[in-house]
Structures are given as C-alpha cells and as structure tokens.
Structure 1
Amino acid sequence: MALTITPLPAALGATVTGLDLSSGISNELVDLLHHAWYEHLVLFFPEAHLTLDQHIALGETFGRLAATTTGDEDYRGQPTLGQNGEVLVLDASTPQGRANAWHTDVTFAKTPPNGSLLAMQICPPTGGDTLWSNQYNAYDALAPAMKDLIGGLDAMHGRPGLTGLNPHPMVKVHPVTGRKALFVNRGWTTSIVGMSQTESIGLLASLFNHAEKPEFNTRWHWTSGDAALWDNRCTMHYAVNDYEEAPRILHRVTIYDR
C-alpha cells in the first residue's frame, strides 16, 4: 500500500495511511513526513499500531528525544519506557494523565520541545477526543494593533512551586517555515513581562479565548493503535476529559533540537 497523505477539512491536520516501518525508515519517507508536518502541523496515523521501537525510531527522525520527566514535577513518578526513558506513559487513572485544558507541551522549560508523537494504547469506548489549534491562523487573525502590542513582549510560562518559570516571546517565529504563531497557552502562561498583574490577566484572558476559537481547531476521535505527531511551535492541544473512569492510556515521545 502506497503512502498517502490526505489533508483534513479543518484548519490543520492530515492523515497518513500506508505507513510501513517494518523495513526501517528511508530518507525518502523522512523527507515526505517532514514536508507534511510543516505544511499540516499535525499528522495522524490511523491504526498504525507502532511498536515501542518504531515509536522511538519515528520520533528520532524529527529530532532528539529527551526524558519528559526532567524538570517537570507533574510527571515525576510517571512510568517511562525505552532504554533512556524516552517514552512517557500517560494513564488517565492518575492525576497527571488528564490535562483537561488547552496547552502547549513543556513551555515552562527554557527550551520547549519542537513536537510530540503520541500513540494510543488503550482507548475509552466513548469520548477522550483530542483537539489541536492552529496558532499560525490565530496570530494571522489578530487585529493589527494587537500584533503591534504583543510583537515585542515576552510572557512567563510555568507553575510556581511546581516547575521553573521561563520567558518566551508571545509571538514565535517558526525556525523552518518562517511563519509567526501566537505562543501563549492557558495551561502554562502565567504573566506578561513588564506588565502589572491586572494588565497581564486581562490581556492573557483575551488572547487565550482568541487562540482557542473553534475555527482554528481540528478534532481527532481516537481508536486504539492511532498515533499523532504535532508541531509544538505552532499548535496547542486539548484532551477532552469526558470519559469518566474509562481507561485511557497513551505513550508519548517528546522531540527537541538535536
């Protein structure tokens, strides 16, 4: 079966079918997937059923994988897999396994990751979808005055007492595409550098509400064996917590610059 990349009828995302990793990952495949990743922001691999080794190998074609527990108190004690703990186990039966808020992964770090590759292991019978939001489009849709206001500002990311706090530009220029993306998220962004708390709260609330608008989103209904790869530099995501006590277990690798 030939590899087929099909854009979704949404603001971002494409499905990748016909992926065969049984004979390894060719340079041609790497080039195709990288191009599609930059174009569509999120790639979905329906029923890919990646093995642990395939999950790690596919992630490594996009960058360096790092243990996701480092510096993140939320994940300390969470199980990891792989020789170097590259694969984080996200189990909804633990408090850390349910984010239930729009966020971009690990923006509290000094250097946030470039992306993540998530593989569904056990899927709830209903619910548990994940939404992604296109932050290129969110930035493009801002009023010119708002673009001017935030263009030179940094915002702090983290949770005091839980993670470190680090500043990042509120507008991120993607190092590959050169496009500008809104880079604040409700899960981790706490304040704006140089603004009072009152000013920060008001402006961030407005930007969060804007960034989360449905017209910027796509929604994925999982089945066991699905995988999703997203660009952390220009997207946010939200795992819907609507499946009560049903099991939901995923494996995630986190991708950094080499």
Structure 2
Amino acid sequence: MYEGRRTLTRLPEGWPERPYERFEIVPQGRTIGAEIRGVDLTRPLDAALREELNRALLEWKALFFRAQHLTPAQQSGFARNWGELEVNPLLASGASSDVVRFAKGRGGVPTYENVWHTDVTFRERPALGAVLQLREVPPSGGDTMWADMAAAYDNLPQEVKDRIDGATAVHDFIPGFLRFYGAERLVPLQDTFPPVEHPVVRTHPETGRRMLFVNTSFTTRITGLDRDESDRLLRYLFQQAHVPEYQVRFRWQAGDVAFWDNRATQHYAVDDYAPHHRVAERVAIAGDRPY
C-alpha cells in the first residue's frame, strides 16, 4: 500500500482559482465537498447563477445545500438545468418516473448501500450527475460519503498508470443488482443494458482532468487481461476509493440536498441506522459517453 504524503490537488492544472459572487461556499473536504450558502433551490436559476454553480460543481465535485425542502417537481426542475433526466427501471419511482425513491431501514428492507460505486456505469452514457434530497432522516447515522477519483488517479504509482492508461474495462449491471433481484427480473433487461466498455481512466469532458473510472458494483473485468490478472488489478483500483484523504462525509438533516458530479466521484451510503427509517429521493441527469 501507499505510504507517505499524498498529493491532494483540487483544481485541474492551469485552472484559475476565482471567488464566487452569487453565494458563499464552505469547504467540507480538502479536494471534494462544499456547502453552498445563500442559494434558494425552490426558485428558478438565472443563467449566471447556473454557470457559477456549475463551476462550483466542477471544482468541488459534490455540493451540499441545507434545508431546501424541495417538492419532487422543484428537485427535477433544478436538475434539468444540467440536461435531460434519466430514468432507471431497476429502482422504485417516487412522484414521477424520473424521481427514484429510496425508503430504507424499517422492516429489514434490502438496501443499495455500503458499497463504493459510481451510478449506472453499465449504461453506454452514464449519468452526468445526481440530485439527492433526504425526506426522512434517522436520529443518528445514515451519512453519505463521496470520493474524489481524480485525486485517486493522481496518486497511483507511475507503473500502475502506465498499465491502465488507454485500457478499457467491461461494466455490467447484473453483478450490482443480483443481490437484490432474482434472475427473472434481470434477464429481460439484458437487451436494454448489455455489457459496455469504458476507459479505465476517464477524461472529464469539461475540465480535461483524468480520473479513475472503475467501481466495485459494475466493473467486471479489464479488457485484454486474463481473469486472474484482471481481478488483481481491479481489486487494487477499487481500493483507491477507500482512502480517507480523497473523501468527504456529509451528515444529513431532513430537507438537505446533495448535487454531485457522477463523472468524477464515487459514493457510499452508510448503512448504520437500523431499525430507524431513512427516506431519500434522487433525480439523475443523463450524461455522455466516457472517453
């Protein structure tokens, strides 16, 4: 394992650090995570505010807004500032098909938590980002963590970078959902979501930054390697999200909103609140094909 001080660079090389004019920003981590103060998400965004929030998203990768209490329509409306919304037929819908509802904890309901992952990398065009709001929060626990996958890539040994730069990996939805659904539910969706290949190291389409783009839930093998070699290398790459220096942890209150860049991060919902209830609603924004 790595020993010594890690390089923790928040901004892409050559990216100027500028103040924010429309809101206050309170950093929550060294390279990832910032609370935004002074923005009311129940109101439409003007072009200048949307642009500044997008810059904050690119620079901090995960943004947190306290006490917004959005309706599902307002939550979807905010997300649409970044593009078309994505529907996921594998998850339970909330008020509409583009709002996914996670009601967890009570009655031993199975969860999608406690695993580091990037959302829907089994799609040809994985989500750009997601907007998550907590409707009901347990009295303790239920935090969410995010990991900065650009920092993870930056700190890989050069010999590992040399092995994975230009490599591709297969992503498949079945391993990630098999523990929740039987084959009879998943097999009919294989034509809709066949396995896809994505680069192991993705280039961010807006910042140009290179990022590690494999995850435990959906990445099954590295193309061109035999199974044992692929498994060994993937285990090592998956472990990079576990490094605390690359992470931020958010403690929710009811009505809080998180907006993250799914291209640049992994996340982990901490499953430590049973038998209490946790209810969240998420809207995902359609993305582009990784390169």
TM-score, structure 1 normalization: 0.91
Matched residues in 1 for 2:64 and 2:43: separation?
21
> Which residue matches 1:81?
95
Displacement over 4 Å in runs of 4+: 93-96
1:124 aligns with 2:138: yes
Q: For residues 27-58 of structure 1, what are the alpha-carbon distances to aligned partners after superposition, in whole Å with 9 as ceiling and x for unaligned? A: 12101110100110000011121122210111
Partners of 1:128 and 1:22 in 2: how far apart?
25
In 2: Cα distance, 1:120 partner to 1:10 partner: 24
Structure 2 counterpart of 1:61, one-letter code: N
Task: Give the match for residue 152 of structure 1.
Answer: 166
Task: Give 1:136's match in structure 2, choosing from 129, 150, 175.
Answer: 150
Which residue identity is paired with 2:120?
A: V
Alignment of 1:39-50 (within 5 A): 39-50=59-70
Question: CA 1:96–1:64 in 2, change beyond 3 Å: closer, same or farther?
Answer: farther
Could you say what secondary structure the match of 1:203 adopts?
helix
Pair 1:26 & 2:46 matched:
yes
Range that drifts further, 132-141 or 156-165: 156-165
How many percent of aligned residue pairs carry the same amino acid?
A: 39
Q: 1:111 to 1:95 in 2, by over 3 A?
A: farther
Check if 1:59 corresponds to 2:106. Answer: no
Q: Deviations over 1:108-161 (max 9, x none)?
A: 111111111100000111111111000000000011111110011111112265
CA contact (8 A) 1:90 1:96 kept: no
Equivalent position of 2:33 in the other structure: 13
**Residue 21 of structure 1: how far off its partner (Å):** 3.8
Once residues 42 and 166 of structure 2 are traced to their aligned partners in structure 1, the CA distance between those partners, rounded to angstroms, is: 47
TM-score, structure 2 as length reference? 0.81
Pick the aligned partner of 2:129 from 107, 110, 115: 115
Can you give the 5+ residue segments of structure 2 that lack an aligned partner in the other structure? Answer: 1-21, 176-182
Q: Offset of 1:96 from its aligned partner? A: 5.6
Alignment of 1:210-221 (within 5 A): 210-221=240-251
Unaligned runs of 5+ in 1: none
Residues 88-117 of structure 1, C-alpha deviations (whole Å, 9 max, x = no match): 111114756432200000011111111111
Cα distance in 1 for partners of 2:43, 2:257 equals: 19
Could you tell me whether the CA contact under 8 Å between 1:156 and 1:193 is conserved in 2? yes
Q: Matched residue pairs, number?
A: 249
> Shift in Å at residue 9 of structure 1?
3.5
The 1:28/1:242 distance shift into structure 2, 3 A limit, reads: same
Stretch of structure 1 that moved more, 224-233 or 94-103: 94-103
Q: Does 1:200 align with 2:214?
A: no
Q: Distance in 1 between matches of 2:42 and 2:118?
A: 32
CA contact (8 A) 2:41 2:68 kept: no
2:214 maps to which of 179, 184, 189: 184
Moved more, 28-37 or 90-99: 90-99
The corresponding residue for 2:112 is 98
CA deviations on 1:47-73 (whole Å, 9 max, x unpaired) are: 12112221011100111102122xx4x
Match of 1:36 in 2: 56
Range with bigger deviation, 236-245 or 3-12? 3-12
Q: What is the root-mean-square deviation of aligned Cα atoms in Å?
A: 1.7
Q: 1:179: how far off? A: 0.2
| Amino acid aligned to 2:131 | L
- Equivalent position amino acid for 2:40 in 1: D
Which among 272, 288, 291 is matched to residue 242 of structure 1?
272
Residue type at the aligned position of 1:19: V
